Amino acid sequence: MATTSRRRARTTARSEAGTTAANALWGGRYAAGPSAVMTAINASIDVDRRFWRQDIDGSLAHVAMLARQGIVRRADAAKITRGLKRIAAEIEAGRFEFKAALEDIHMNIEARLAELIGKPAGRLHTARSRNDQVALDMTMWLRAACARCDGQIRAVQQVLIAQAERNADAVMPGYTHLQPAQPVTFGHHLLAYVEMLGRDRGRFADAAKRGNRSPLGAAALAGTSFPIDRHATARALGFDGPMANSLDAVASRDFALEFLAACTTTSVHLSRLAEELVIWTNPLFGFVTLSDAFTTGSSIMPQKRNPDAAELVRAKVGAALGAFIRLATILKGLPLTYGKDMQDDKPAVFEAADALELSLAAMGGMIADLKANPARMRAAAGGGFSTATDLADWLVREAGLPFREAHHVTGRLVRLAEERSCDLPDLSLADMQRVDKRITRAVFRVLGVDNSIRSRTSFGGTAPANVRKAAKAARKLYLRGPR
C-alpha cells in the first residue's frame, strides 16, 4: 500500500512538473499543456526577437523607476540591471538561445534573467504587463526606424542633387501622358524627386513626433495601483511624455499605421523613379546607362542588360501598401483594448520597413551609378513639336493675341510642319506669316529647345540657371544637419 502511494505521488509530481513547464507563462489556471498547433500559432519569438534591444532598454528604465519609488529593493534592482546587461551582451555576441516555448521576446529575456539571478528576476514585471511592454517596444522600434528611413532618404536626395548639378544643362523631353510635351533639363527632372523625397522625410518626422509618447505603465489596460512614475520612465527612454490614457496606450497602433503610410508614399515615389529608369535605359530612349552593378544579363540573349534593380524597386511598393492594408484590417473593429490579433502587427511593419530600406539603398546606388547621355536626350527633346507652347506664348506676349487664339494659330502651324515633315523652327517666316501676318522674325528667338529651356525662368522653372540655384537651395534645406 505504501509502495503504491509513493508510486502515485511520483507520477503526480512528474505530471505536475510537466504541466508547470508547459504552462510556465500561464500559471496554475490551466491543467493541460498547449497543443503543438497552439504553440506554433501563439509563438512570436521568430518575429519579435528584433525588439530585444528595445525590450531590455525598457526594462532597465522600468526597474530603475521601481527602485526610486521604493516598489522594488535597490539591491534587487541592481541584480536585475546587471542581469539585463549581461543578456544584452549575450544577444549581441550571438550566444543567446531564443526558445519558441517561451512565446515572445519578453518572456525569453525574463526567463534567462531568472536563470542568471534567481528570484529577484520575478520582481521586474511589477506594475507592468506584456500589453504595455510590447506597445513600448513597438513604439521605440518605430522611432528608430523613422530615423533610419530619414537617413536613407537623405542619402538618395544627396546623389540626386549631385546628378542634377552635373546635368543642369542637359536638355531632355518633358512628358505628359508619356508623350513629348515641352523641353526640360535632366537636372530639373531629378530635382523633382528631391522635393518628393523631402516631403517623405517630413512624413516620417511627423510620424515619429506623434508616436513619441510612452505607453509604459499602462499595464494590462487600467493602469496600476503601485505608485509608479510614468513621466520618469518616459524621460529616461527619450519620450516627450507618457500616453494620457491607459486604454489607448495598449489598444492603439495608429503610430504603426502612420509609419506604414509614410513607407507606402515613399515607395510610390521610388517606384515612379524606378519606372523612369526602366524607360530611360531602354535602347529606344537611351537617355541613361546603368552599369553591371545594378543590371543583369539574360540566360539566352547575350546582348541584354536588364534593369532588374529598378524593376524590383518598382515592385516593392506592394510590400508597403500590403502591410498597411494588413494592419488596418487587423485593427478594424477590434474592441478595446488588447486582442491577440494585434500580435500580427509586427510582421507587417517589419516587412514594409525591410522592403523600403532595401529599395532606398538600391535607388541610391543606381542614381549614383547612372551615366547620362545628353546627346540622345537632346535629340529626343526637339521631337513632337515640343516648343509649340513657346510659340503660343510668343503670340500672346509679342503679337497681342488672346491665348485661345494663339493656341489655334500654333495648332495650324504644327499641322503645316507635319505636312512638311519638319519641326517648327524649320518653317520659313513666309510660311508662318501665311498662317498669321502678325508673326515676325523675332519668333525664332523662342523656338528651339535651348531657347525654350532658357526662357523658363519663373520660380521652380527648368532654366539651367534655375536648376543650379534650386540644387544649391536643396543642399542647404535637405543635406545640412537634421531637419
How many CA atoms lie less than 13 Å away from 13 in the CB half-sphere? 6
Residue 432: partners with Cβ closer than 8 Å, 6 or more residues away: 413, 439, 443
Q: Which burial class, exposed, middle or buried, applies to 203 when counting CB atoms under 10 A from its CB (0-12, 13-18, 19+)?
A: buried
From the list 122, 75, 222, 191, the residue with the least C-alpha distance to 461 is 191
Strand partners, 324: none
Position 91, amino acid: I
**Structure-block grid coordinates of residue 201:** 522625410
- Which three-class secondary structure state does DSSP give residue 10? helix
Which amino acids are annotated catalytic?
177, 298
Residue burial 402-425, b: 16+ Cβ < 10 Å; e: rest: eeeebbebbeebbebbeeeeebbb
For residues 48 and 140, the answer to whether their CB atoms sit within 8 Å is: no
For residues 179 and 384, the answer to whether their CB atoms sit within 8 Å is: yes
Q: How far apart are CA 124 and CA 136, in angstroms?
A: 15
Helices (runs of H) and strands (runs of E) counted in the chain: 19, 4
